[in-house]
Amino acid sequence: MIMRPGAAAVIAAGLLRLVGFLAPSVTAPIFASSLHLPFLSQPYQVTFTAAQPLAAVVVVFVTMLNYLGVRTVGRLQILLTALKIATIIAIVVLGVMAKNPTSGRTAFVESPAHGPMVAFLTVLVPVMYAYNGFQYLGQLGGEVLNPKKNIPKAVIVGTSLVIVLYVTINWVYFHQLGISQVAQSLHVASDTVARLLGGSAAKYFTVAMIVSAFGSLHAAFLTGPRVPYAMARDGSFFGFAKRLQPKFRTPSGALVFEGCLTVLLVLTGTYQELYSYAIFAIWIFLGLNALALIRLRATQPDLPRPFRVWGYPWTPLLFGLAALAISINLLLVRPVPSAVGLMIILSGIPFFYYWRRRGATSSQRVEVVASGN
């Protein structure tokens, strides 16, 4: 309800943000309003731009693509990922070879409203969204050949590659633009290429980055619907989500469900609101995953475990505490999108117990019928 549709909505909004570099009118507000909420000292600003319905159109198109089959869209994803990596590497190479870095540097100034720890955790939110996705590969386990070998290999190699590319390209941004310009820019990559090669080249690179963002959105729909599909198949979610498209064998019910939720989100939130909303939920559950790992090790010590985490229990414990710190801080700093996410999460609790009770009842009926036979 939140994690995958929210993540997809952020990517779609970010894609249109890149389009705004080529056509600034896309991001111009159509209307804006202020909401006076009782728990906020300042009015909450609501903005609707032309980019939001355009992002919804992109989401519908990606949903239709994934409806056509895993093999076809999987090949497309390989092509889009290759283009994404090639674009990043090109910017890095140009930045390293350039001899005109920005000489001026601006010192960090601590915000009077928040302490350094609050500020640090707040800026981690978009940073951790850039790294988000390492946890999604396991959701394709049912469609991966030799998952015990290929999934950990893909996670380790893929995450390492993302870290290297992300750190390197950010070094290029700061090396070329300086801290002040990076802080003020809405299109850091495009501005960097414009500085290196001029405005015309920046437009071509921006088109490549738009295609790259499309690839990320495509990947979100390649993996995301498999979760509600698997839950529905196990009796832990709405029954329509377990429908398979008879010809293409794709989880059509779950795809349409996630597509509708993503469209709703992009029509009701800005880029910053969406990533605050999504990261709050994502990192709460990543933190709970780490704590659940520790609990399961204690309550079910004999459970088969093909993978062992290094540095247990300190590695998952530190990860879990850091994840929860990011989410709790986000609830304090950006309460509106975080509170919406929290209410949706809490509303899922009665559904969970209802489905679990219904599943237990169904199992008892099966046992009674079996014993009768």
The DSSP result for 248-277, as a single string, is T---HHHHHHHHHHHHHHHHH--HHHHHHH
Q: Check pLDDT > 90 for residue 141.
A: no
Q: Structure tokens of 245? A: 């498209």
What's the pTM? Answer: 0.81
Q: Residue 67 gets which letter from DSSP?
A: H
Asked if 26 contacts 240 with a C-beta cutoff of 8 angstroms, the reply is no
Which amino acid is present at 218?
H
Residue reference for tokens 């029954």: 239
pLDDT top residue among 136 and 158: 158
Asked if 205 contacts 323 with a C-beta cutoff of 8 angstroms, the reply is no
| Cα→Cα distances 337→17, 61, 220, 264, 333, Å | 20, 26, 21, 14, 10
User: Looking at domain 3-270, what is its CATH homologous superfamily?
Assistant: Amino acid/polyamine transporter I (1.20.1740.10)
Model pLDDT, residue 40? 66
Domain spans, the chain: 3-270
Model pLDDT, residue 39? 66
| Cα→Cα distances 187→7, 24, 181, Å | 20, 11, 10
Model pLDDT, residue 316? 92
| Percent above pLDDT 90 for the chain | 28
Model pLDDT, residue 111? 52
Model pLDDT, residue 367? 57
Q: Check pLDDT > 70 for residue 31.
A: yes
Q: Check pLDDT > 70 for residue 370.
A: no
Residue 74's pLDDT band (boundaries 50, 70, 90)?
A: low
Per-residue pLDDT of 221-272, as tens digits, reads 888 888 899 899 988 899 999 999 888 888 999 999 999 999 999 998 888 8
